[in-house]
Structure 1
Amino acid sequence: MSAPTSRLVPTLGLASIVVFGLAYMSPSIVASTFGVIAVTSNGAAPTAYLVATLAMALTALSYGKLARIYPASGSVYTYARKLLDSRLGFLAGWALLLDYFFLPMVAWFITALYLNVQFPVLPVWGWLTVVIGVSTLVNVVGLVLADRVNKALLALTAVALAALVVVCLHEVSGSPAGTFTGSLWAPATSVGAITAAAAIAAYSFLGFDAISTLSEEVKDAERNVPRGILLTVLIGGGIFFVVALLMQWVHPGTAFDDPETAGYAIAADVAGQGFADVFNVMTLLGGFASCVAIQASTSRLMYVMGRDGVLPKKAFGYLHPRFRTPVFNILLIAAAGFFATKLSLATATSFINFGAFLAFTVVNICVIAAFVRFRREGRQMPVLGYVVLPTLGALVDAYLLTKLSGNAILLGSGWLVIGIVYLLVLTRGLRQAPPEFTVEEATEHAPA
């Protein structure tokens, strides 16, 4: 008897999902955002990254606990549905969908912009077509191919960052402009500046949670998904901290011609224009790996919501019979990506940040809800891991949410209002629970 048509196939191990998470985060983003974070922190970018790493690790621990309890795809949508309420679960998934649906668009657009700058043989829309087409093809074929592509491209990113580390180490071993301690805490730095910069640095971590959307495609998910989530945050945060430390050491202070391109300028200063150009190309390739990973995880979240029936099941809950991938969702995300040139990056980023931090807050609340449920069932759970740490995580995520611009909060709230209206229609005025996929339903419709 063949596998049920509504079930994804487990093919990924621990190393593969860590690579997936790191590819999603795109470690090379530290070079792109360094200048902005250095200016915001008043010259202490590595410390801001360290604070952001600790903050995201709290939420990663909560994701890990929930992934162990519910090793199913769907991320916060599944967790909130099981532990809080099916209607709240829908809204949590709706908020996360806001994050995930716009992330591929932004990732493709940024990659196309930088490719056009360095290789103007094609216009931005031409490069956009290329990167969308290639990543869509990879994801339609399946996660096995996507895994291989991600590993290859992430390896190039690692080589590029390692090269940047080497040239920066060579620079600081000679006559460095700054000092080690000054790079961690400059004279003008303050706690307020560090926390404000950490809120920006936290955006670099968006994507570690995407591992939870692949739970049904991971071998031994109860064990590997929690480990993969935490390892992704710690490894990514370690890379961000080391690279930012060396760049701040080489270039102390906040005096940049353009903070948004400070990373490129520092690479050119320490190793020449040729090195900076090669470094830029290699990080762009790493950015493409992020595009593949983002599209894959978004399609899985949409698939689970379609399989449940809260989105039209025939379309969103469809798996290709040969590739076992949610082809409709992948193609829909690709089609939306072509509208990137019609939407400003500021607007799209506002959507992404609102959805991400709201979802992170809900995840931490879900862990506390799990603690209450287990206690009622007579199971003793540790207060530190299931109450104290998730409470701290929820407070940190809520704080980051308040640091967003008024425009971001307004746009995100508008998206939630649309979700509430749809939920009212779906549940006939909240009088019934949203539909949910069951194993029995999958078995009943499985072909012999």
Structure 2
Amino acid sequence: MSTVSQTTKSPRLKRVLGLPATVLFGLAYMLPLTVFTTYGIVNQITEGHIVTSYLVTLVAMLFTAASYARMVKAFPMAGSAYTYTRKTLGGNVGFLGGWALLLDYLLMPMITYLVIGIYMHASFPAVPQPVWIVLSLVIVTALNVAGIKMVSKASSVLLVFQTVFLLVFAAMGIRAATNNPMPSIVDMMIGQGPGTTAIFAGSAILCLSFLGFDAVSSLAEETIDPKKVIPKAIILVTLLGGVLFVIISVIANLAFPDWSAYTSVDSAALDVTHAAGGAFLEAFFTAAYIAGCFGAVLASQTTVSRILYSMGRDGVLPRRVFGYLHPKFRTPVYSTLAVGAIGLLALVIDLTLASSLISFGALSAFTLVNIAVIKHYYIDQKRRSGLDAVRYLAAPAIGVILCLWLWSSLSMSAFVVGFTWLAIGMVYLAVLTRGFRKAPPELPVADD
């Protein structure tokens, strides 16, 4: 095992995860039931063609997931898009890539805490919503401090509960669909749709469902044999999650085909589950969704704490705080507590604004990772012959185009707030580098 003098006496993240645990972590982060979170909104935008939007998003994300898989082979380290862009495109671009990525990761736990509070308060009106938010935040933060193995086990259990619900929903939804006129596949996919613009607008929203593969890449320093395990896990999580989202959307559309008749587009899942299985399935959905939210927030808070740790270890963020590992648990305890503190914004923030920011940050980071593949393999390593030209130029270039196309479909509010966030990052970077006269600090870390 190679070492670096600066890190010889420092504790390291534990390598304890194998392929199954890593895949389950990514799927838990993606939250299989997240398809119902934006189901009504996207189905209304696309006039009943959410399945097509999911397929477009899946294709775009597979190209990007392939780029993540290639970059983790080159740099099997914590930090995800921040690490890849920094190592290939330079410290300044790497910082901005990490800054864009922070936008979605910092807000993902917060949104999930907010959703937990909303649903739990609806089920138990006597308990104020803020109580549920704070209680769930304390439990999840404590599990994250305890270690990645504890998080992995808890996420896996909650994922099983969601899977049971999805199997019951599929059976009852298919049975309910037999009572409705069966549309043709062409009508469901294309029909008299609203056109390409609306399909891509829906796809831009749905890309939030696929953040699990990015979360997997951040666990490279806690995975056994990461150069083999992480690339496989990234592709499997993207493919399995995408196929699952498509199947659920098909069943939901068949069980409740009239997209214009939702009681509320924000809670269209309640109309769908009630149509599929009555009050029983509606109550089962609420319980499974809350369980899924806990699994997702466990995974998302773990991911962003590792990204903050990577940036703190490099000195881009204060090293004593964000680059610190607990000597016993070997987890980035201060980074984890910082993410928990940000989660308290769930008490006051607007859900719509936060969702827009996540889309902006995710697609910005995805674009940079695709560019990083071209820079590292095709330009720097000159791997340009035969299939290498496809792997390291054509495929990531398609990924860039698809991500930018989805990115351009976001709302104006997403651009305003997103570019404001990037402007803040630029100012901080200017201060950090003394007016860009020196490179951002970096701590070289040898990989085990």
Query: TM-score category by the smaller chain?
Result: over 0.9
> What SS is found at the alignment partner of 2:104?
helix
CA deviations on 1:278-315 (whole Å, 9 max, x unpaired) are: 22111210111001000000000000100111111011
The partner residue of 2:409 within 396, 399, 403 is 403
The answer to whether the 8 Å contact 2:147/2:331 transfers is yes
> 1:285 maps to what in 2?
291
2:389 paired with 1:416: no
Q: Distance in 2 between matches of 1:109 and 1:333?
A: 14
Rounded to whole Å, the distance in 1 between the matches of 2:277 and 2:217 is 40
Matched, 1:265 2:268: no
Unaligned runs of 5+ in 2: 2-6
1:297 aligns with 2:303: yes
| Higher mean C-alpha deviation, range 49-58 or range 198-207 | 198-207
Query: Cα deviations across residues 181-236 of structure 1 (Å, max 9, x unaligned)?
Result: 23333334533332222222222212320111111001110011111111111111
Corresponding residue number in structure 2 for 1:178: 182
Q: Which runs of 4+ in 1 moved over 4 A?
A: 1-4, 374-381
- Does structure 2 conserve the Cα–Cα contact (< 8 Å) formed by 1:8 and 1:216? yes
Q: How far apart are the structure 2 equivalents of 1:99 and 1:425?
A: 23
CA contact (8 A) 1:31 1:264 kept: no
Measured after TM superposition, the shift of residue 431 of structure 1 is 1.8
Q: Does residue 155 of structure 1 match 2:167?
A: no
- Counterparts in 2 of 1:180 and 1:162: CA distance versus 1, 3 Å: farther
Return the letter of the residue paired with 2:348: K
Show the 5 A alignment for 1:66-105. Answer: 66-105=71-110
Q: What corresponds to 2:148 in structure 1? A: 143
Contact 2:13–2:221 under 8 Å retained in 1: yes
For 1:377 and 1:161, the matched residues in 2 are separated by 44
Return the match for 2:434 from 397, 421, 428.
Answer: 428
Q: Is the 8 A contact 1:178 1:252 kept in 2?
A: no
Cα shift at 1:180: 4.3
Q: Counterparts of 1:226 and 1:316 in 2: how far apart (Å)?
A: 27
Which residues in structure 2 correspond to 1:21-32 (within 5 Å)?
21-32=26-37
Flag the 1:375–1:326 CA change in 2: closer, same or farther, 3 A: closer
CA gap of 1:380–1:250, structure 2 versus 1, over 3 A, is closer
1:205 equivalenced with 2:187 (yes/no): no
Q: 1:111–1:284: 8 Å Cα contact kept in structure 2?
A: yes
The CA deviation at 1:377 is 8.0
Letter aligned with residue 294 of structure 2: F
More divergent stretch after superposition (267-276 vs 372-381): 372-381
Matched residue count: 441
Corresponding position: 1:344 with 2:350: yes
TM-superposed deviation, 1:402: 1.5
Flag the 1:324–1:380 CA change in 2: closer, same or farther, 3 A.
farther
For residue 437 of structure 1, report the CA deviation from its aligned partner. Answer: 1.3
Q: Secondary structure at the match of 2:32?
A: coil
Whether the 8 Å CA contact 2:11–2:327 is kept in 1: the answer is no
* RMSD (Å), alpha carbons: 2.0
Confirm or deny: 8 A CA contact 1:177 1:251 kept in the other structure.
Answer: no
Q: Is the 8 A contact 1:57 1:233 kept in 2?
A: yes
In the other structure, the counterpart of 2:317 is 311
Q: Displacement, 1:439?
A: 3.5
- Please give the secondary structure, in 2, of the residue aligned with 1:339: helix
Distance 1:29 1:246 in 2: 15
Distance apart, 1:374 and its partner CA: 4.2
Work out whether residues 255 and 275 of structure 2, in 8 Å CA contact, stay in contact via their aligned partners in 1.
Answer: no
C-alpha offsets along residues 25-82 of structure 1, whole Å, 9 cap, x if unaligned?
A: 1010112322222111111221211111111111000000001111111111111111
Normalising by structure 1, we get a TM-score of 0.94
